[in-house]
Amino acid sequence: DTEVTQTPKHLVMGMTNKKSLKCEQHMGHRAMYWYKQKAKKPPELMFVYSYEKLSINESVPSRFSPECPNSSLLNLHLHALQPEDSALYLCASSPLFLRQATDTQYFGPGTRLTVL
């Protein structure tokens, strides 16, 4: 089973709202990722958690705040977003077997975010 789940599927929020996106995997993967994807563009990496610690932050604005409560869960807290932040937000996970040469990422279905 290579399933990553994300909630909610759709989210509409105002620029003053605070909301959170959630991601879960039960594959025993030790790396989890947040991506942002605009229409007709490839996914853009935002954050990576490895063994529940933030290992990569791609200079994302502070209005996006990631959290990894445990090895199966990943949250993205949103606050004071701008309309240009409207996009499909994707979560992914990977095994992170350090002795292997590569690490395959499996994506969730995404959360469609609209900021009004």
Partner 1 sequence: EDQVTQSPEALRLQEGESSSLNCSYTVSGLRGLFWYRQDPGKGPEFLFTLYSAGEEKEKERLKATLTKKESFLHITAPKPEDSATYLCAVQAGGFQKLVFGTGTRLLVSP
Q: What residues numbered 46-85 form the site for partner 1, per CB under 8 A?
A: 48, 50, 55-56
Among 11, 21, 31, 113, binds partner 1 (CB under 8 A): 31
Closest CA to 27 of 54, 59, 58, 4: 4
**What's the min distance (Å) between Cβ of 107 and partner 1?**
4
Q: How far is CA 41 from CA 89, 93, 109, in A?
A: 13, 20, 16
For partner 1, which is the closer residue by CB, 18 or 51?
Answer: 51
Bridge partners, residue 5, by sequence: 24
Nearest distance, CB of residue 56 and partner 1, angstroms: 6
- Answer yes or no: are the C-beta atoms of 27 and 93 closer than 8 Å: yes
Contact indicator for 43, 84 with CB cutoff of 8 Å = no
Binding site for partner 1 (CB under 8 A): 2, 4, 6, 31, 33, 40-43, 45, 48, 50, 55-56, 88, 90, 92, 94, 96, 101-110, 112
